[in-house]
Chain A
Amino acid sequence: MSAAEENAAILEVADMRVWYGTRGDPVRAVDGVSFSIGAGETLGLVGESGCGKSTLGRGTLGLLPPMASVSGSVRYDGRELVGMDPKELRDMRGPELGLIFQEPMTRLDPLQTIEKHFRETLRTHEPDLDDDEVRRRSLEALAGMGIPPTRFKQYPHEFSGGMRQRIMIALALVLNPKVLIADEPTTALDVIVEAQILGILADLRRNFDTAVLLITHNLGIVAEACDRVAVMYAGEIVEQGDAREVFAEPAHPYTRELLRATISLETTGLNYIDGAPPSLIDPPPACRFHPRCPNAMAVCAELAPEETTGGGGQRVRCWLNGPEERIPEGGREPLEREEIAAAEEA
């Protein structure tokens, strides 16, 4: 356990499940995940598309469609959010729990100036704020994102994509939330602007003690901006721990393969994981990664792996990491698998 984790965690999620109702069996988009984030800490949540990252992020804030059910516990600052009165939860969203989405343009009202956006946001939660105070706090938040006060009265379309994302972040931060959930905030942006935004997020945790859950599919971004990392596969967190440790010594084959598949300047050859994340209506039994895992053993298809501690102190769910005494006889034999066709990919 890292030091940050031992600090009072501001957000603690335990055995959380989010299932979506369908005409047939439910989609187990999040299926028993536990993690926590301390104040001033950034936790990166990575995994391929369709692994349940966005669902986890929204579920944490209670922002789910009506056909979703949640179980388990989400404790924020000692209060239980699962099952909380929707109105009470709505009031907490903003001043306590903030959210940033991937596509900033769709979240800004094209007919309203930036000033109006800020006024509305602030007044919703602090109705007594006078105009001067609104302006002061808005400008402060914008300045923190590098947007000059001269642009306060402009409309969203007058800003570039990167600026709009900064405005979104400023809008989330103007209420000083203690927890910020950022769902792929830079996926729609170019590399340089992405790096600028990541820089801003890094400053945030240094200067404001905000706890950030940063959702991404790019491990490069986690390495860049996160203290800890949680790797999600098929609705479960398969490995979590200190980012340095996990990257240096990934204990779960999925983490390792994701790292190998990430294309960076150091990449000398192309690597990828065969196959695609499974349907979460009927996920593979036992270890959900076993059909794609290069190291799969007989036990992996039979028993769900237990949580163990990896070499770098991270928490892992993979039989390769034991516990040895729980692996039945013959369980270490390599698993024979069917060939995975390229057509099965994501």
Chain B
Amino acid sequence: MRGLKNMKLPRWLAPIRDTVGVSRWMFWAGVVIVAVFVVMAIFAPLLAPYSFDQVSSGGVDFPKQHAPDSTNLWGTTVGRYDVLSRVVWGSRTAVEVVLLAVAFSLVVGVPLGLMSGYIGGKLDRILVLIMDALFAFPYLLLAIVIAFLLSDKLEGFFLSDLFGAGVVTAAIAITAVYVPQYFRVVRNHVISVREEPYVEAARALGAPRRTIIGRYVLQNVIQNVPALATLNAADAILTLAALGFLGYGIQPTEAAEWGYDLQRAIDDAGAGIWWTGLFPGLAIVMLVVGFTLLGEGLNDVINPLVRSRPTEAPDIPAAGGEVGGWAPEAPVGIDRGRDP
């Protein structure tokens, strides 16, 4: 068991343990930041003082654009919403949309990339063409077009009941932006893996094609996906905010969304009302940074070439240590009990 002396971590996690230096720091910082937002998202009803669309408490209406005080810790907005509650609930929206968007992109992009890369030929050429076209399209425009086309069409969709139609629409709009990326990464990797002798070996053993694709190709291609998905998640937060900012996102009554709040806060800034813009803006920046750190950290973990060297040159003792040194001057009796 050379080199595997430490504890048993699942194999895909093992590299995390070995990572050091900046990568390690980035990875764990990312984990912590993202975890904070995830906790906020899950426990929003408990953490937020009010609901996201609440404008009064105990029969008393919140004042408009009120500075932070004991009732509204981070103040209120022009729509009399509580800023703290909007930010906390907004993390739920962000996490939901990102999760859905990443899931959709994986479900669509990865299989398409696999088929395109493994089967090749005409199918490959057509898919590459479509994906390149999508990729070349300005991403925000694409998301807006999709969001526009889908608005109000998703009422009966089963996910809409779970997350709300607005969240699902936003997620799908974002998906369209990221599918080409997954497709490209997976396809290009499949093309190189396809030529590996172990794929031919599986064929020679009589493996059916779907087994080869799933078990022999996909398993070796999928490793790059988590890092890409995390980096895309960071990007997705920005796209979501941009959609909200431009008014194509989730309606304020449906869920709290940072981009929308930011847009509403624009006029406040000139009037010295800093709290309406600062907090949602900060939330966006923090979560984007969190996902980016996590993604870059993962990238280094998975791709050890860029990992910094873990060790320094050892000191060689003058005598070269015990082992390999010369025998003592005088003959010594053999002591069988002694551990050499």
Q: When chains A and B are docked, how far (Å) is the Cα of A325 from the Cα of B329?
A: 12
Within the complex, which residue of B309, B316, B335 is in contact with A67, where a contact is CB–CB below 8 Å? B309
The interface size of chain A toward B, counting residues with CB under 8 Å, comes to 40
Determine whether B58 belongs to the interface, using a CB cutoff of 8 Å to chain A: no
Residues A283 and B324 in contact, CB atoms below 8 Å apart: yes
Q: When chains A and B are docked, how far (Å) is the Cα of A305 from the Cα of B328?
A: 10
Task: Report the nearest B residue to A279, measured CB to CB.
Answer: B2
| Known pairs A17-B316, A67-B312, A328-B334; A302 contacts B324 (CB<8 A) | no
Residues B311 and A28 in contact, CB atoms below 8 Å apart: no
| Chain A window 302-331, contacts with chain B (Cβ cutoff 8 Å), 1 for yes, 0 for no | 111110000000000000000001111111
**Least Cβ distance of B189 to chain A in Å?**
22
List of B residues within 8 angstroms of A325 by Cβ: 331
Q: Which 9 A-B pairs have the closest CB atoms?
A: A26-B314, A21-B311, A285-B340, A69-B313, A71-B316, A303-B327, A31-B324, A21-B314, A67-B311
| Chain B window 312-340, contacts with chain A (Cβ cutoff 8 Å), 1 for yes, 0 for no | 11111000111111111001111110001
**Least Cβ distance of A337 to chain B in Å?**
14
**Least Cβ distance of A44 to chain B in Å?**
23
Residues B324 and A32 in contact, CB atoms below 8 Å apart: yes
Residues A288 and B314 in contact, CB atoms below 8 Å apart: no
Task: Report the nearest B residue to A25, measured CB to CB.
Answer: B314
Q: When chains A and B are docked, how far (Å) is the Cα of A22 from the Cα of B326?
A: 25
Within the complex, which residue of A24, A66, A299 is in contact with B334, where a contact is CB–CB below 8 Å? A299
**Least Cβ distance of B330 to chain A in Å?**
9
| Known pairs A304-B325, A304-B326, A329-B334; A17 contacts B309 (CB<8 A) | no
Residues A20 and B314 in contact, CB atoms below 8 Å apart: yes
| Known pairs A19-B316, A32-B324, A69-B315; A328 contacts B340 (CB<8 A) | no
Residues of A within 8 A of B (CB): 15, 17, 19-24, 26, 28, 31-32, 66-71, 235-236, 279, 283, 285-286, 288, 298-299, 301-306, 325-331
Q: When chains A and B are docked, how far (Å) is the Cα of A31 from the Cα of B320?
A: 7
Residues A328 and B327 in contact, CB atoms below 8 Å apart: no
Task: Report the nearest B residue to A281, measured CB to CB.
Answer: B2
19 extra A-B contacts, CB within 8 A, seeds A21-B311, A69-B313, A286-B340: A20-B314, A22-B310, A23-B310, A26-B314, A28-B323, A31-B324, A32-B325, A67-B309, A67-B313, A69-B314, A70-B316, A285-B322, A285-B323, A298-B334, A302-B335, A303-B332, A326-B331, A328-B333, A330-B334
20 example contacts (A-B, Cβ-Cβ < 8 A) are as follows A15-B320, A21-B311, A28-B324, A31-B320, A31-B324, A32-B320, A67-B312, A69-B314, A69-B316, A71-B316, A279-B2, A288-B324, A298-B336, A299-B334, A304-B323, A304-B326, A327-B331, A330-B333, A330-B334, A331-B334
Residues B327 and A21 in contact, CB atoms below 8 Å apart: no
Q: Interface centre among B312, B331, B333, by most A CB within 10 Å?
A: B331
List of B residues within 8 angstroms of A305 by Cβ: 327
Q: When chains A and B are docked, how far (Å) is the Cα of A161 from the Cα of B231?
A: 43
Task: Report the nearest A residue to B316, measured CB to CB.
Answer: A71
List of B residues within 8 angstroms of A328 by Cβ: 331-334
| Known pairs A304-B327, A306-B327, A328-B331; A17 contacts B311 (CB<8 A) | no
Which residues in window 131-190 of B have CB below 8 A to A?
none
Q: When chains A and B are docked, how far (Å) is the Cα of A286 from the Cα of B314?
A: 22
Q: Interface centre among A15, A19, A68, by most B CB within 10 Å?
A: A19
Q: When chains A and B are docked, how far (Å) is the Cα of A21 from the Cα of B314?
A: 5
List of B residues within 8 angstroms of A299 by Cβ: 334
Task: Report the nearest A residue to B333, measured CB to CB.
Answer: A328
Q: When chains A and B are docked, how far (Å) is the Cα of A28 from the Cα of B315?
A: 11
Task: Report the nearest B residue to A326, measured CB to CB.
Answer: B331
**Least Cβ distance of B161 to chain A in Å?**
51
Residues of B within 8 A of A (CB): 2, 5, 18, 309-316, 320-328, 331-336, 340
List of B residues within 8 angstroms of A304 by Cβ: 323-327
Q: When chains A and B are docked, how far (Å) is the Cα of A23 from the Cα of B314?
A: 10
List of A residues within 8 angstroms of B311 by Cβ: 20-23, 67
List of A residues within 8 angstroms of B322 by Cβ: 285
**Least Cβ distance of B143 to chain A in Å?**
41
Residues A235 and B324 in contact, CB atoms below 8 Å apart: yes
**Least Cβ distance of A323 to chain B in Å?**
10
List of B residues within 8 angstroms of A69 by Cβ: 313-316
Task: Report the nearest B residue to A330, measured CB to CB.
Answer: B334
| Known pairs A235-B324, A283-B323, A304-B327; A329 contacts B333 (CB<8 A) | yes
Q: When chains A and B are docked, how far (Å) is the Cα of A302 from the Cα of B336?
A: 9
List of B residues within 8 angstroms of A288 by Cβ: 323-324
Q: When chains A and B are docked, how far (Å) is the Cα of A32 from the Cα of B320?
A: 7
List of B residues within 8 angstroms of A23 by Cβ: 18, 310-311
Q: When chains A and B are docked, how far (Å) is the Cα of A31 from the Cα of B325?
A: 9
Residues A68 and B331 in contact, CB atoms below 8 Å apart: no
| Known pairs A19-B314, A279-B2; A301 contacts B340 (CB<8 A) | yes
List of B residues within 8 angstroms of A286 by Cβ: 340
Q: When chains A and B are docked, how far (Å) is the Cα of A32 from the Cα of B322?
A: 12
Q: Interface centre among A31, A283, A305, by most B CB within 10 Å?
A: A31
Q: When chains A and B are docked, how far (Å) is the Cα of A285 from the Cα of B320?
A: 13
Residues B334 and A302 in contact, CB atoms below 8 Å apart: yes
Task: Report the nearest A residue to B318, measured CB to CB.
Answer: A71
Residues B313 and A68 in contact, CB atoms below 8 Å apart: yes
Task: Report the nearest A residue to B325, measured CB to CB.
Answer: A304
**Least Cβ distance of A17 to chain B in Å?**
5
List of A residues within 8 angstroms of B324 by Cβ: 28, 31-32, 235-236, 283, 288, 304
Q: When chains A and B are docked, how far (Å) is the Cα of A302 from the Cα of B322?
A: 12
Within the complex, which residue of B313, B320, B335 is in contact with A21, where a contact is CB–CB below 8 Å? B313
Q: When chains A and B are docked, how far (Å) is the Cα of A68 from the Cα of B309?
A: 12
**Least Cβ distance of B328 to chain A in Å?**
8
**Least Cβ distance of B258 to chain A in Å?**
43
Residues A66 and B331 in contact, CB atoms below 8 Å apart: no
Residues B325 and A302 in contact, CB atoms below 8 Å apart: no
Q: Interface centre among A20, A32, A299, by most B CB within 10 Å?
A: A32
